[in-house]
Amino acid sequence: MGFKVISLGELLVEIMRDEVGVPLNISGRFLGPFPSGAPGIFINAIAKLGIECSFIGTVGNDGFGELILNRFKESGVDISNISISKDYTTGAAFIAYRKDGSREFIFHFNKAASGNIRESQIKHEIFKGVEWLHITGSTITANEMCRQSGYKAVQIAKAMGTKVCFDPNIRPELADIKRIRAVCEPVLKRTDILLPSEKEACSLAGIENENEACLELKSRGIEVIVLKRGAKGCKIYVKNRIIDIPGFTVDEVDPTGAGDSFAAGLVYARIQGWEWEKSGRFANAVGALDVARFGPMEGAPTLREALELAGI
C-alpha cells in the first residue's frame, strides 16, 4: 500500500522486425520478446523514475508473463495486483516498421491473458491515497471486460480523489473510430489530463486541425490537454494558455513507447508540483530518451538521466 500512481490494462510482449520495410505478411527475422503493453510501458517508466506504483493486469503462466513480471520487479513496480491466469497465455504484439516511419501491428491480446482483466481485480483499497490513475484507450477498446474494468477504475479514482490521466492511444487496428469515440466518452468526462497525439486529437474531436481539435476537447471541460508532437515536443493547453515546448534532439532508434514514457514523465512532474513549462520539458526528455533505444521499455531513463537532459 501507499502507492502514488496506479495503472491498469494489457501486459504484452512485443516481437519486432529488426529491419525497416519488411511487412508482417512476409517471412523474416524478428527481435524479442520485449516486455510491453502501453500501460505497462507507462508504469515501468514511472517506477524507474522512483515513484511508488502498482499495476492491475493479467499475464499467463508462461515465459512471456515471467519476462514482464521480472522486469517490473527490477524497476520497482508492485506486482501484487497482477493475476496469473491458468486459462490464457500472455498476450503478444507483432510490429513492423514502414519506410515512412509508421508502424504495422498485429495484436493478440483481447482474447489472451492480457485482455482478461476482471472487475473484481479493481479494488477500492488499492486506490487509497493514490494521486494519479493512468489509463489508456487501448485497454478500454480491447473487449467488454477490459472496458468495464477500466470504467470501474475511473469511477473509484474519482470517488477517492485520485486524478485521472488518459492517453487515448487509438489503434485503428483494434476498433473503428466511431466505436473508439463512444468508448472513450465516459472516461473523457472524468479526465484531468488528456494526452493525445496530433492524429488522436483530430480523431477524437472529429476536426482536421489539431489545434482546433484540442480547443474543442478542452471546451468539453477537460482541464489540461497535453498534445504529443513526436520530435517537435508538446503543446500544453491549460486555462486559456497554449504553451509550446520544443522536443530534444536525439537519434530516433525506435518510436514505440514514446507516448507512454512521456506520460510517465508528465505524471512524475505533476506529483512534484512543477509549473507547466518545466513539466513539459521533463516529459519531453523522458520521451526522447525512450526513442533513443530499441525496444518499448528498454529506453526508460533513470531520474538522473531525465533531469540531466531536461536541464533541471
Q: Binding residues for Mg ion, per CB under 5 A?
A: 169, 259
Q: Considering the rule CB under 6 A, would residue 288 count as an interface residue with ligand ATP?
A: yes
Please, what is the minimum distance in Å from the beta carbon of residue 154 to ligand ATP? 20
Stretch that binds ligand ATP, among 142-150, 203-211, 228-236, 303-311 (CB under 6 A): 228-236
Q: Please give the C-alpha separations between residue 93 and each of 30, 40, 107, in angstroms, as whole numbers.
A: 12, 13, 4
Does position 194 interact with ligand ATP (CB under 6 A)? The reply is: no
Comparing CB distances to Mg ion, the nearer of 33 and 259 is 259
Instruction: Kindly tell me which residue out of 121, 197, 203, 279 binds ligand ATP, with binding defined by CB under 6 A.
Output: 197
| CB-based contact 150:169 (threshold 8 Å) | no
Give the binding range for ligand ATP (CB under 6 A) out of 75-83, 89-97, 215-223, 227-235. 227-235
* The entry of Mg ion, ligand ATP, none that residue 52 binds, CB within 5 to 8 Å by partner kind: none
Q: Residue 86 CB, nearest distance to ligand ATP (Å)?
A: 31
Question: According to the binding rule CB under 6 A, does residue 282 interact with ligand ATP?
Answer: no
Binding-site member from 259, 295, 299, 301 for ligand ATP (CB under 6 A): 259
- The CA-CA-CA angle for residues 72, 282, 265, to 5°, reads 30
CB of 102 to ligand ATP, least distance (A): 10
Q: How far is the CB of 170 from Mg ion (least distance, A)?
A: 8
Residue in the shown chain whose Cβ atom is closest to Mg ion = 259
* Separation between Cα atoms, residue 204 and residue 217, nearest integer Å: 8
Q: Which residue has the cell 512476409?
A: 26
Choice between 3 and 97, CB closer to ligand ATP: 97
Return the range that interacts with ligand ATP (CB under 6 A); candidates 86-94, 154-162, 285-293, 298-306. 285-293
User: Which of these, 186, 184, 223, 189, lies nearest to 200 by C-alpha position?
Assistant: 184
Q: How far is the CB of 2 from ligand ATP (least distance, A)?
A: 29
Judged by CB under 6 A, the stretch of 47-55, 87-95, 236-244, 281-289 that binds ligand ATP is 281-289
Q: Pick the binder of ligand ATP from 62, 211, 230, 298 (CB under 6 A).
A: 230
What would the DSSP string read from start to end of the chain? ---SEEEES--EEEEEESSTT--TTS---EEEEEEE-HHHHHHHHHHHTT--EEEEEEEESSHHHHHHHHHHHHHTEE-TTEEEESSSPPEEEEEEE-TTS-EEEEEE-TTSGGG---GGG--GGGGTT--EEEEEHHHHTT-HHHHHHHHHHHHHHHHTT-EEEEE----TTTS-HHHHHHHHHHHHTT-SEE--BHHHHHHHHT-SSHHHHHHHHHHTT-SEEEEE-GGG-EEEEETTEEEEE-------S--TTHHHHHHHHHHHHHHHT--HHHHHHHHHHHHHHHHTSSSTTTTPPPHHHHHHHHT-
Is the Cβ of residue 169 or residue 261 nearer to Mg ion in the bound state? 169
Using the minimum distance from each CB to Mg ion, give the nearer residue, 149 or 169: 169
In the bound state with ligand ATP, the residue whose beta carbon lies nearer, of 27 and 249, is: 249
Binding residues for ligand ATP (CB under 6 A): 169, 197, 228-231, 233-234, 247-248, 250, 252, 255-260, 262, 284, 287-288, 291
